[in-house]
Structure 1
C-alpha cells in the first residue's frame, strides 16, 4: 500500500486504504475497494518475486477523478517513479508505435531497453 501511495493519485490510495480486500490468485494479487462490487481494482502479477505485470481495472472509479490529460514528459516521469518504486530500478524510455487497439490519442506507449512496455491512458 505504501508503494501505491507513492506512485498513484491520492484518490486511488484513499479508495483502497483500510479496506483490506486482498485476494491472491496464482501469482496475482488483486487489491480492490470493495469485495462484492468493486469500482477500483489493481492487479499485481509476480514471477519469481518480481513484478511482471500491473493492471488497473478502473470500472467506474475514474469517472469521479479529475479529467486532466497527461503529457508525454509527465508520463515518462510517472513511469520512472513507478519503476523505481516497484522494480527498484531506473528505466530509460522510448515512445513506441501504438499497438493494435491503442491507436488513439488517449494512449501513450513506452518501452525500456529490455523491451518492457508501459501503456498509459492519459
Structure 2
C-alpha cells in the first residue's frame, strides 16, 4: 500500500468521524474515540480501517542494514558479561552495532537492574 493510498484512507476515516459527532453510540475515552460497530457509519469505519491490518511494517535501511534491529538474548548476555571489561566501542564492534546503540542499551539495562553500575576506586 502506497503512502498516498494510506493518506486517502485516513481522510475517509476523518470524514466519517466528523459525521459521527452527533451519534448517540459514540463515546470518548481519554484520547481515543469508540465508534459503534452496529450503526452504518461504524460499519463503514470498521470496513475502511481493516485495510490497515496485515500491512507488514517496513524497516528502513542504511548501508544494507536495518536502522533498528531488535536485540537478541545472546547480545544482551554478552553485554551483561562484558560491560565492565570493555568500552562501548569495543562491545559495539563485537556485536556489529553502533556505539550509541550499545550505550543506550546498557542504560536501559541498568534501569531494569540487569547491569550494575561500574564504580572506579580512587
TM range (shorter): under 0.3
Point out the structure with the larger strand share.
1
- Normalized per residue, which structure has more helix? 2
Larger of the two Rg values belongs to structure:
2
Give TM-score scaled by structure 1 length: 0.24
TM-score under structure 2 length normalisation: 0.24
